[in-house]
Amino acid sequence: MKFQFLSAVLLLFVFSACAPESTTQEDVKLDQTEYDYSINVPNSAKNELANYYSNSVGNTNPDVTNAGAALGRVLFYDTKLSINNEVSCGTCHHQDLAFADGKNLTEGFNGQLTVRNSKAITNPYFANNLFWDGRASDAMNLTLQPVSNHIEMGMEDMDFLAKKLSKTNYYTDLFKKAYNSSDITSEKISDAMAQFLCSMTTFESKYDEGIKSNFSNFTALELKGKRLFEGSKYFCQGCHSGITFDAENQFSYYGGSQNGATNIGLPLTRDKGINDEGRFRIPSLRNVEKTAPYMHDGRFATLDQVIDHYSKGIEMQEMLDPRFKNGNQAKKFNISDDEKVALVAFLKTLTDEKYLTNPKYSNPFL
């Protein structure tokens, strides 16, 4: 009799433990510090970016609020956004690598490899061509795509995700602070993550210091590299232009590359880029020292190899960027070893140490 009673009680316990209203196992600790996420562009960048945002047509990015970005930060690092709770955005975007991940291709939630190299996160607020194929026109547009990708995070049903997060206790408060209600929808998830992304600005490198002081802080080698980068001979700034070092800002020097993407004559494999034309988005070079390996498939392990490509490795293709053509052949820039060293030294001045360690962008799950 006692035994039957006890087993009944035990069964009851077991059932209540599996009740659908409970959250997942651990008692999660989150960094509760309140940070200022307002988009802060330094004076040295202000002039050039002044016209950028107001003139970007069709931008759907939300205004950044501290509570919204704080929520976005949690979502960014929360593995619950993947179908099997193993992968978050932060899994393939590591702050210490300027939000790249040091791998050629990355493993998704099921161990399958993604098709392209994980891109660093560099001033996405000032970008209209996100992903290697430029398919997202702004951060808002981008946010849920990796979440629903069947290799990366596998969460195809956004309503299911919203329900799942509704049962996660720490989100109640976060959503209330951000949206005045603890009601969770996929739009709000997207919005909060977009706010976090937009708040991620990186404009505090040695180069940026240099702007204020006529580059008196640069070594002779770095200055030489800068001149080579900017000069007509190699004209790297023709694509990697202006204060953002990419081709996103139509108001930077020569941002006339087609929608921030071009074909640089990489021998193509399975991935033929935009419209199979061998065109890929021109990434920003900020923090490039940290974001190896390089190119859409991570084929170049070092900056030296990248420069070797431009020097002698450009392959003639139909859609090759005309600036790399010399008649019907690919141009050979023939960059000397000394010049290569100088260029690499210059590229390293684009590293923003603050960005790589700023706690407000770090993983809040303690």
Partner 1 sequence: MKKLILLLFIAGGFFACDSNTVEPTDVQPSLPETAYNYSDLKVPTQDQFSFQELQANSANPKVTDDGATLGRVLFYDNKLSINNKVSCGSCHLQSKAFADNKDFSEGFEGRLTERNSIAIINPNYCQNLFWDSRAGSALDLTLKPVQNHIEMGIEDLDFLAKKLSKVDYYKDLFQKAYGSNEVTPQKLSDAVAQFLCSMTTFDSKFDRGVNSNFSNFTALERKGEQLFNSSELKCASCHSGITFNAELNTSSYSQPDVKGATNIGLDRKSKDKGKEDGKFRIPSLRNVELTGPYMHDGRLKTLEEVIDHYSNKIQYSEHLDIKFKNGNKAVKLNISDDDKAALVAFLKTLTDETYISDPKYSDPFVK
Binding site for partner 1 (CB under 8 A): 43, 47-48, 50-51, 55, 211, 214-215, 226-228, 230-233, 235, 237-238, 242, 250-258, 262, 321-323, 326, 333-334
List all residues 6 or more positions away from 173 whose beta carbon is below 8 Å from its beta carbon: 182
Per the omega criterion (within 30 degrees of 0), is the bond before 293 cis?
A: yes
Q: Which is nearer to partner 1, 52 or 132 (CB)?
A: 52
Give the shortest CB-331-to-partner 1 separation in angstroms.
Answer: 9
Q: Which is nearer to partner 1, 214 or 269 (CB)?
A: 214
List all residues 6 or more positions away from 147 whose beta carbon is below 8 Å from its beta carbon: 81, 82, 153, 155, 158, 161
Give the shortest CB-366-to-partner 1 separation in angstroms.
Answer: 41
Give the shortest CB-124-to-partner 1 separation in angstroms.
Answer: 21
What dihedral do alpha carbons 299, 305, 309, 313 form, nearest 10°?
-90
What secondary structure letter does DSSP report for 288? G
Q: Which is nearer to partner 1, 141 or 252 (CB)?
A: 252
Q: Which is nearer to partner 1, 55 or 169 (CB)?
A: 55
Give the shortest CB-82-to-partner 1 separation in angstroms.
Answer: 39
Q: Token match 């023939």: residue?
A: 334
Q: Which is nearer to partner 1, 117 or 241 (CB)?
A: 241
C-alpha dist (Å) from residue 14 to 3, 8, 11: 16, 10, 5
**Alpha helix segments (H runs only) across 28-152:** 43-49, 52-55, 66-77, 89-92, 139-142, 144-148
Q: Which is nearer to partner 1, 246 or 297 (CB)?
A: 246
d(CA 266, CA 278) in angstroms, rounded, equals: 8
Tokens of residue 238, six digits: 């023709």
Give the shortest CB-316-to-partner 1 separation in angstroms.
Answer: 15
Q: Which is nearer to partner 1, 150 or 233 (CB)?
A: 233
Question: Do residues 144 and 72 make contact, with C-beta atoms less than 8 angstroms apart?
Answer: no
Give the shortest CB-43-to-partner 1 separation in angstroms.
Answer: 8
Query: Could you tell me which of 98, 16, 100, 102 has the C-alpha nearest to residue 350?
Result: 98
Residue type, 32: Q
Give the shortest CB-354-to-partner 1 separation in angstroms.
Answer: 21
